[in-house]
Structure 1
């Protein structure tokens, strides 16, 4: 019994060390960079089953935030989605809104109905869309944003905010606080 307890304690400590040592979680802050991307001219499908031109959806006169998630994820995606929900809530208190776009990295599973249920589960407000498409189109989009993930199990936390003034994208890698996310958004929106 004592040996089993010690083994369990050792295993728990190893998991904690591995979790803390992972580069995404070990950093005190997220990593911020600025990039230019060419949005591919593809049509994707939103949670309502409507075909949408990705370029037209993203290249607007308003800031747009993009992340790459999938509906059955139980690790990073819920954190990213909660960040989107919190941003929507905080901005709503100020009488503002944000354009949020989640793009699936599992197009073979994430149908419009599954995506609609996912958004409902996270109490998404209007202005947050979840997009899917063919595997070829989704891969093209991920590659265009330097976010290609060949295996959904090895995905990472990434948000990107498009600056409508100059067309650049603020790339936010890692888990960030709600305060930091709001600050990053406002830096772009309030220019």
Structure 2
């Protein structure tokens, strides 16, 4: 299933590019696709794709930046596209002077076990700084509420990307499908 999803995402990117609508060009208009906001994410205890405990605040360096997306492993619509974009950002993290962590947080904690998250992470060749996270439904609900992420119907949820600092709570939010260029540019806003 994960291979099928990753293949679907790659095919969608290729088809969009051939049609002149490449993901890298869809939303290349810059920061106007993002709104600045303050978010106080809870110091939630989660599990990463290796079944290790991961603290949302405690396991990321104080000066690090994060890109957070909300996804689920059996999604066959926008989630693979969002993860493909994060894969591009993962490869380009060195373009940002501060440490960058990517967080893919499940919106289907009842189904997304660490093992499923591991398979998804492997399908997108995630680096050690791209954390695929799950937790109890209550913890996920607290995180989604804090992030003002409305995913009442997971099959039709909006893409939600957060770029920011967990330590300060300063984020830029996109409710569209930003390009990797846009996400890298938003990370750059914290370098100034």
Q: TM-score range by the shorter chain?
A: 0.7 to 0.9
Aligned partner of residue 67 in structure 1, secondary structure:
strand
Return the index of the structure with the highest Cα Rg.
1
CA displacement at 1:90 relative to structure 2: 2.3
Aligned partner of residue 108 in structure 1, secondary structure:
coil
Within 2, Cα distance between the matches of 1:62 and 1:183?
Answer: 16
Within 2, Cα distance between the matches of 1:121 and 1:170?
Answer: 27
**TM-score (ref. length: structure 2):** 0.76
- RMSD (Å), alpha carbons: 2.5
Q: Give 5+ residue unaligned stretches, structure 2.
A: 1-25
Residue 83 of structure 1 is matched in structure 2 by: 85
4+ residue runs over 4 A deviation:
26-30, 92-97
**Pick from 8, 33, 36: which aligns with 1:34?**
36
CA displacement at 1:145 relative to structure 2: 0.5
> Number of paired residues?
165
Q: Which has the higher helix share?
A: 1
Residue 107 of structure 1 is matched in structure 2 by: 109
Q: Give 5+ residue unaligned stretches, structure 1.
A: 1-25
Q: How far does the alpha carbon of each residue in 1:96-133 deviate from its partner, in whole angstroms, 9 at most, with x for none?
A: 86200110000011101110010100111110001111
**Pick from 143, 152, 171: which aligns with 2:173?**
171
CA displacement at 1:95 relative to structure 2: 8.9
CA displacement at 1:148 relative to structure 2: 3.1
